[in-house]
């Protein structure tokens, strides 16, 4: 029985260019099986979900996807060129008549086949990455808008609506993340990993029939639907922790290495809070409104920002306190109407660099009305520069309280309406 030369596959340009239509045999090597645990999105609030997507779909990531597509097109062109050269050479050097030609064309045919597989794999991976990045870009845009709304809840709503407004935003954000996670899983299955090409130093190495193909590679384990590792330059791919007291992974899935772990609901853990900017009637120099949750209970109180000594005696700090006290309020911890009174005592949170300890729970004497407008005096020209210092101190302090796991996630303060007079 004579050996048969491996038939040359058809040119691949029509396969890798444009969209794939119809049942085409495109995967040539066994593909790994990816296991994934499912994220329990109710364990995350809007700031945490925003932190998980804000570094995705960067320009570097899109450049990588374009690079895969360009490489696929380049390999397709090389495949077609080599296939044409092979046919031209075979017409004058018949492998059925020459043992040397037979050995040579076996090498060429293996290379042509490998080029075809690589061309398809790279193009398919490019399209998969394009789909993943499109999903993440959409989620990023939606979550960015929700984060802005989250930062404005205590400014846009009366206190009795703060809890429900935050809950509504969490529900919307969790739905976005759930849909995005499912879409990323689907696109992940379209990534094709080509077989490694076996290079031989000499023709004599391939006179004997090649060995059987290797067994399928072991399962590759990923977390949360194969979350891409593409992040903004300089920012590590460290996922945010869940809200204390919640399991970040749904039960019933595989137990994988590196899975996110629950955070205990103990003092010092970063609970879910809303920013209360300086000048608010219920926290004149700024504070954090505690939302309900494990270890917190019903929530519903404000932890005031300790005013730094550098600005404690400034005119802007005094003006902020005056605006808050205009309706009879005073700086300090205060319960909201119909809510539980917070515990007292506990160590004071340290500086932004230290990220240690917990906020001080104190109860103020006298609070502004829950319903009704508070007339706030406008800032003077002298107070305006100092106001920026007060607001920056609040931004830094709130980052320590709300998002201590990262150094570059800050609250966006609403635009001021009280202009200097």
- pLDDT, position 376: 45
In the predicted model, is pLDDT for residue 408 greater than 60?
yes
pLDDT bin (cut points 50, 70, 90) of residue 360 is very low
Instruction: Tell me: pLDDT of 136 over 60.
Output: yes
Q: What is the pLDDT of residues 264-318, one digit of tens each?
A: 998 888 999 999 999 888 888 899 999 999 988 888 899 999 887 766 665 555 5
pLDDT tens, 373-397? 444 444 455 555 577 888 899 999 9
* Residues 413, 395 contacting (CB under 8 angstroms): yes
Nearest CA to 326 out of 408, 418, 241, 238 is that of 418
Beta carbons within 8 Å of 45's beta carbon, 6+ residues apart: 166, 170, 173, 243, 272, 291
**Distance from C-alpha of 66 to C-alpha of 189, rounded to nearest angstrom:** 19
Chain segment 25-44, per-residue pLDDT in tens: 455 678 888 788 899 999 99
DSSP 377: P
- Fold entry, domain 13-221: Ferritin (1.20.1260)
pTM of the predicted model, to two decimals? 0.72
Tokens of 100: 């040397």
Map out the domains of the chain as residue ranges: 13-221, 273-368+377-402
pLDDT confidence of residue 253: 84
Q: What is the pLDDT of residues 30-84, one digit of tens each?
A: 888 878 889 999 999 999 999 999 999 999 999 999 999 999 999 999 999 999 9
Q: 158-162 long-range CB contacts below 8 Å, 24 or more apart?
A: 158/370, 158/371, 159/282, 159/336, 159/337, 159/370, 160/336, 160/337, 160/338, 160/370, 162/274, 162/289, 162/336
């Amino acid at each position: 029985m004579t050996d048969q030369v491996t038939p040359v596959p058809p040119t691949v340009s029509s396969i890798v260019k444009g969209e794939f239509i119809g049942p085409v045999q495109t995967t040539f090597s066994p593909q790994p099986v990816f296991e994934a645990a499912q994220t329990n999105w109710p364990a995350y609030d809007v700031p945490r979900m925003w932190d998980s997507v804000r570094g995705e779909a960067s320009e570097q990531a899109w450049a990588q996807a374009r690079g895969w597509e360009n490489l696929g097109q380049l390999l397709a062109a090389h495949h077609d060129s080599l296939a044409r050269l092979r046919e031209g050479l075979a017409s004058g050097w018949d492998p059925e008549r020459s043992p040397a030609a037979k050995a040579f064309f076996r090498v060429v045919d293996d290379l042509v086949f490998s080029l075809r597989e690589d061309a398809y794999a790279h193009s398919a991976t490019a399209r998969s990455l394009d789909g993943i990045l499109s999903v993440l870009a959409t989620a990023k845009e939606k979550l960015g808008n929700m984060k802005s709304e989250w930062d404005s809840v205590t400014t846009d709503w009366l206190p009795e609506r703060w809890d429900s407004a935050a809950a509504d935003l969490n529900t919307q954000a969790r739905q976005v993340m759930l849909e995005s996670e499912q879409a990323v899983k689907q696109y992940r299955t379209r990534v094709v990993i080509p077989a490694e090409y076996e290079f031989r130093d000499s023709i004599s190495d391939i006179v004997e029939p090649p060995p059987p193909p290797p067994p399928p590679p072991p399962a590759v384990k990923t977390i949360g639907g194969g979350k891409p590792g593409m992040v903004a330059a300089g920012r590590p791919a460290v996922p945010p922790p869940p809200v204390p007291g919640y399991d970040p992974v749904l039960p019933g899935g595989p137990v994988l290495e590196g899975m996110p772990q629950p955070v205990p609901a103990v003092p010092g853990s970063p609970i879910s809070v809303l920013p209360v900017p300086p000048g608010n009637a219920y926290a004149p120099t700024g504070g954090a409104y505690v939302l309900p949750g494990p270890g917190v209970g019903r929530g519903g109180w404000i932890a005031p920002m300790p005013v730094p000594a550098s600005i404690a005696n400034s005119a802007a700090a005094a003006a902020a306190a005056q605006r808050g006290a205009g309706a009879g309020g005073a700086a300090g911890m205060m319960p909201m109407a119909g809510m539980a009174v917070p515990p007292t005592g506990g160590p004071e949170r340290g500086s932004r660099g230290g990220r240690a300890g917990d906020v001080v729970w104190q109860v103020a004497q006298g609070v502004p009305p829950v319903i009704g407008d508070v007339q706030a005096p406008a800032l003077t020209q002298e107070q305006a520069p100092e106001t920026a210092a007060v607001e920056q101190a609040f931004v830094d302090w709130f980052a320590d309280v709300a998002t201590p796991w990262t150094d570059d996630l800050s609250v966006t303060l609403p635009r001021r309406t009280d202009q200097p007079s």
